[in-house]
Amino acid sequence: MNAAQPHPATDPSTQPGPDDAGWVIEQRRPRVMVLFGGRSGEHAISCATAGGVLRALDRERYDVLAVGITTAGRWVLAADDPDRWAITEDRLPHVEDTAEHVLLPQAVDDREVQVLVPGALPQDIGTVDVVFPLLHGPFGEDGTLQGMLELADVRYVGSGVLASAVGMDKHMMKLVLAGSGLTVGPYVVLAPGEFDRDTAAATAKVEALGLPLFVKPARAGSSLGISRVDDLADLPAAIEAAAQHDPKIVVEAGIVGREIECGVLGGHGADRARASLPGEIVVTGQDHAFYDFEAKYLDESGVRLECPADLSDELVAAVQDVAVRAFEAVGSEGLARVDVFVTPDDQVVVNEINTMPGFTPFSMYPRMWAASGVEYPELVDELVRLALERPTGLR
């Protein structure tokens, strides 16, 4: 595995010449803006992810700028302290508003980040070469932020507008994956208000899937708003819980199989994306009917993450192949985590693709790459290199 080796096109020490937008990047450390927080229900998870990345970035190689987005959407200078953003037993981290508000570059010939302080003129605080957007969920992982960065030709880590939007919407994602020849499980979509307009018809539509069911917001992550339904009498409550996060709802049939995940890392130039060794999620705690929010982030003892998963060589290869194909099907860039089920007859069924997987201490994505020979700091460095390599102004 050579994922973390310097690549000539992206090694910061070889970047003194003009870039493709026409300005000159002098011989200096590339500046990375670590961007996190945001308006979604996954605000705290984004903060925790940022803490891990801030800790891992090599400060001798990169100049780092921490910028947080409050739950109201305000961009502020944030503490460059990984411990400040950690999840603890009694606190979920969040970005607080400050007097120092941040303004991104506004045009393709501008790379200056400005700080706006009430009663004072805007202050330039330097250029940004790449943004590392660690926002999860709507207003960050769904293509909206990516579109804003594209308008100013700012390089960033991860997937572009379309792949981010498709990856965020479980309905659209399943259509694209199935259309690319990948196997997805049975599901139905309830349009906004459909369940309330005709509860009997919507229930019959869902009932055809059998039990158990998993009711999910179409556009949310970190298992927020997801319920397992073993009795149709519990369906209305599950619909209501999901609708608190998104009015469009996806209902999936339960699939008998092992929950397997695989990390994908983009390739350089014309190289194909690379897949990690797969990992397996084993929920051990009796308080969790599935891998829910608490099991993911708050109750480490209730879940076991096995890296690598105990699979045959043939199944490892099959999972890796499906993961890369899913990555390519939605047009992902940089990174993604692909979640699948491996059924008792060794079929690989795609559950979903996550275009900005978490980097918290409990996250599977960095663990799978560590098991594959790429430690966390090397993985973060590789993602920045891939972002520095990507062309601008061509979408």
**pLDDT per residue over 301-329, tens digit each?**
567 889 999 999 999 999 999 999 999 99
pLDDT at residue 108, rounded to an integer: 83
Q: Are 30 and 381 contacting, i.e. CB atoms less than 8 angstroms apart?
A: no
Q: Locate the domains of the chain by residue range.
A: 12-158, 167-185+255-355, 187-253
Q: Looking at per-residue confidence, does 395 or 154 come out higher? A: 154
Segment holding 133, helix H or strand E: strand 130-133
Q: Does the pLDDT value for residue 175 go beyond 90? A: yes
Pairing type for strands 63-69 and 75-77 reads antiparallel
Pairing type for strands 31-37 and 63-69 reads parallel
Q: Which of 120, 83, 73 is nearest to 100 (CA)?
A: 120
CA dist 382 and 368 (Å) reads 15
Question: What's the length of the chain?
Answer: 395
Q: With cut-offs at 50, 70 and 90, classify the pLDDT of residue 358.
A: confident
How high is the mean pLDDT of the chain?
A: 89
Q: With cut-offs at 50, 70 and 90, classify the pLDDT of residue 7.
A: very low
- Among the residue ranges 11-15, 248-252, 353-357, the one predicted with the least confidence is 11-15
pLDDT tens digits for range 11-68:
544 444 445 444 444 568 999 999 999 998 889 999 999 999 999 999 999 999 999 9
For the structural domain made of 187-253, what CATH number should be given? 3.30.1490.20
Q: In the chain, which residue ranges form alpha helices assigned H by DSSP?
A: 43-56, 144-151, 161-168, 170-179, 194-197, 199-207, 235-243, 293-297, 313-329, 364-371, 376-389
CB neighbour burial string for 246-269, b if at least 16 within 10 angstroms, e if fewer: bebbbbbbbbebbbbbbbbbbebe
Of all residues in the chain, what percent carry a pLDDT higher than 90? Answer: 75
The answer as to CATH 3.40.50.800 being correct for domain 167-185+255-355 is no
Class (C level, CATH) for 12-158: alpha beta
pTM of the entire predicted model: 0.87
Q: Does the pLDDT value for residue 221 go beyond 80? A: no
Tokens of 293: 């929010």
pLDDT at residue 222, rounded to an integer: 61
Q: Looking at per-residue confidence, does 42 or 190 come out higher? A: 190
pLDDT at residue 6, rounded to an integer: 41
One-letter identity of residue 183: T
Q: Are 299 and 285 contacting, i.e. CB atoms less than 8 angstroms apart?
A: yes
| Percent helix, strand and coil across the chain, each to the nearest 5 | 30, 25, 45
Segment holding 303, helix H or strand E: strand 303-306
Q: Looking at per-residue confidence, does 127 or 220 come out higher? A: 127
